[in-house]
A and B are shown apart, each in its own frame.
Chain A
Amino acid sequence: MAGKGGVGKTVVSAVLAKAAARLGLSTLVVEVEGKSGLATMFGQSALGYDEVVLSAGGGPGGEGEVRARTLTPDDALVDYLRDHGLSRLSSRLASSGALDVVATAAPGIKDILILGKVKQLERQGAVDLLVLDAPAAGHAVTFLQAARALLDTVSVGPINAQAKEVAAMLTDHARCRVVLVTLPEETPVNELVDTAFSLEDRVGVGLAPVVVNGIYDPVAGLGGVPAAAEAAGTTMTSDEAASLWAAAAFRQDRMRLQDEQLIRLAERLPLSQLRLPFVFRTDIGPVEVDHLADRLLAEIAALPEPV
């Protein structure tokens, strides 16, 4: 899951996981940035290195489980060294800041440690779907490109092998797809288009349909306040009419801009769009995630059949 800061990448990760659960798939969401509003979206308090269950599976409709965890480069390094029989060194390395030195010597190593761990989780097959809430776009290209970049600098050894396996995972369209998230606004749309082409050209990943988040749903009556009042056979104070009118005009203006951006996005990027509504709240909790998951499933169902 990749997108510019502020476009709702984490919300969409939560919604995708919930939608997958509805289809009976168990999902693990991996947060790489440490901080996360993900847990609160499922009504829970915090995430850590150990997996937690955000929503239980096995409901009457056969829902899958949604689990989540964080994964930082330091965690991934400690795991890596342990898996390679070097656990004696690992705690000292992680605590002394030496990872910074090593990461500078071989750039991309932090990214490859994380992606390597994700690959390992995928290979373990404990869940049906893994959702990686990736670093903000711009960084997303560098992040996913790390495998290729490292293959150039580090020509032998276990990191080279790791990078090869990660590159194989990323470029296998049956195993891995990148979901790009954007808002229906000019700058995020431009950034998404640039990121999409960079990812395809430079990383060779397969792109899933893009998610456009925060679209105002249409409402009835936006065309005219007096007409609506008359039709309802009611009168209202002029203040009230003015409020209704101003709110309606604002929504119409934004909806027109949003439509323009959706069209522009479609023209510039030949990928299907999954459109999610703006939630008129400032916080997303379990109720909103459920509602958005319904919408996402409906959007997916309406996609043209893949050829």
Chain B
Amino acid sequence: MAPAVSLSELLQQRRIVVCCGSGGVGKTTTAAVLALSAARVGRRAVVVTIDPAKRLADALGLDGLTGTPMRIEGDWPGELSAMMLDTKSTFDGLVVANASSAEQGQRILDNRFYKNISEALSGTQEYMAMEKLYELHQRTDFDLIVVDTPPTRHALDFIDAPRRLSRFLDHRLFRVVISPGRGMMRAVNVAAQTFLRTVAKVVGAEVIDDAVAFFQAFDGMEEGFRERAAAVAELLSDDDTAFVLVASPRRDTIEEARYFADKLAEAGIAVRALVVNRMHPRFGSGVVGRAQEQADARKGTDLGGLYQNLADFELVASREEEHLAGLADAVHPAPVVRVPFLSSDVHDLDGLSKVAEYLL
């Protein structure tokens, strides 16, 4: 295994940093901080965010923006750009690029089933995040791309997504439907017919007509999608790419992060750094018992209250460290970066700078 490097070294050396982890752990903020920090050491960085909270989006100049990187001006030697992932327009671009003719592209873009894919097909958002990453990687104007990933239910959705989508577009049911010789009518397709009839009965025939029209229009493009999916997968396992796992120290989120780390390991991807947000600060000796003894002995007095308060924080901080220990082992030798639960919330560049002090 490669020797561990610090998070700031990663930001200086790698071309891609992927922030992953479960929802609500501060992934978006962490991604923004990493890009800002890279700009501060002279790199030309871009952060791709998925769904930033409004004030953070404002701070990043992302108000009402679509899928193009926008430069954020600031007092740093490098460059900082930010963009919001626009799943639909990214997918549209991919379709147009892979279509054999403008007509084929337009036919797909107009199809109702296709419109649903970008909104309703599970994994599409994850795939488009990875696709956007690939596009940005092809450009020469960024040294570092930081991607925030969608809050997925399943750890590997965003790694699996390209493969899953090409499998979906290749679904054997639709191979049958669009095969020449009026495929639907042949005996060998009885199963497919039964399936479609059943579905039509449940959701209505027009829905199925849309789907069939889509797969007909899509015919011939699967290969391009498959190749692209393979290229994206390769990029993710490339040495230029570093995965940063983001977590918070509650037991359930630590368990999810652990699951995430295991799944990444199974996919042959190493976690290069672990960022743990919202760690409770430690006050005092760290000896958990004593403050509680004093609190119990002085119950009901002001001093008892103060000891109870100290005991509360000591207990939660020590529990957090306990839970974290197993996860830190699992991602060894990746550095573990602790970001304290701050006394104010983060939603502007000043706030991001404050977090950066702890991250690097």
Contacts and interface: CB of A to CB of B under 8 A. Distances in A.
A282 to B, nearest CB: 4
Contact of A248 (B168, B207, B301, B306): B306
B24 A6 contact: yes
B307 interface: yes
B56 to A, nearest CB: 8
A28 to B, nearest CB: 21
Contacts of B344: 253, 257
Given A222-B305, A244-B306, A257 B23 contact: no
Interface string A147-181: 00000011111111000000000000000000000
Interface string A225-263: 101110110100001101110111011011001000000
Contacts of A228: 301-303, 305-306
Contacts of A108: 120
A266 B12 CA distance: 45
Interface string B161-199: 000000110010110000000000000000000110011
A101 B168 contact: yes
A254 B309 contact: no
Interface stretch (A117-125, A184-192, A201-209): A184-192
Contacts of B202: 84, 102, 157-159
A280 B313 CA distance: 7
B14 interface: no
A18 interface: no
B171 A97 contact: yes
Interface residues on B, range: 35 or more
A221 B316 contact: no
Contacts of B171: 97-98, 101
Q: Which of A107, A156, A251, A280 has the most chain B CB atoms closer than 10 A to its own CB?
A: A280
B281 A250 contact: yes
A303 to B, nearest CB: 28
B283 A246 contact: yes
Interface stretch (A31-39, A46-54, A56-64, A267-275): A31-39
* Secondary structure of the A contact surface, majority rule: helix
A219 B203 contact: no
B319 A4 contact: no
A89 B168 contact: no
Contacts of B203: 102, 105-106, 109, 154, 157, 159
B154 to A, nearest CB: 8
Most B CB contacts (10 A, CB to CB) among A101, A138, A160 go to A101
B204 A247 contact: no
A93 B168 CA distance: 14
A43 interface: no
A118 B283 CA distance: 47
Contacts of B151: 5, 136
Contact of A247 (B116, B198, B252, B283): B283
Interface of A: 4-7, 10, 33-35, 37, 84, 86, 89, 93, 97-98, 100-109, 136, 138, 153-160, 185-187, 190-191, 219-223, 225, 227-229, 231-232, 234, 239-240, 242-244, 246-248, 250-251, 253-254, 257, 280-283
11 contacts: A4-B23, A5-B22, A97-B167, A100-B168, A104-B120, A107-B119, A219-B308, A221-B302, A221-B305, A244-B284, A247-B310
Given A6-B253, A246-B281, 11 more contacts: A5-B151, A6-B248, A98-B195, A100-B168, A102-B202, A102-B203, A153-B204, A154-B204, A219-B309, A227-B302, A281-B319
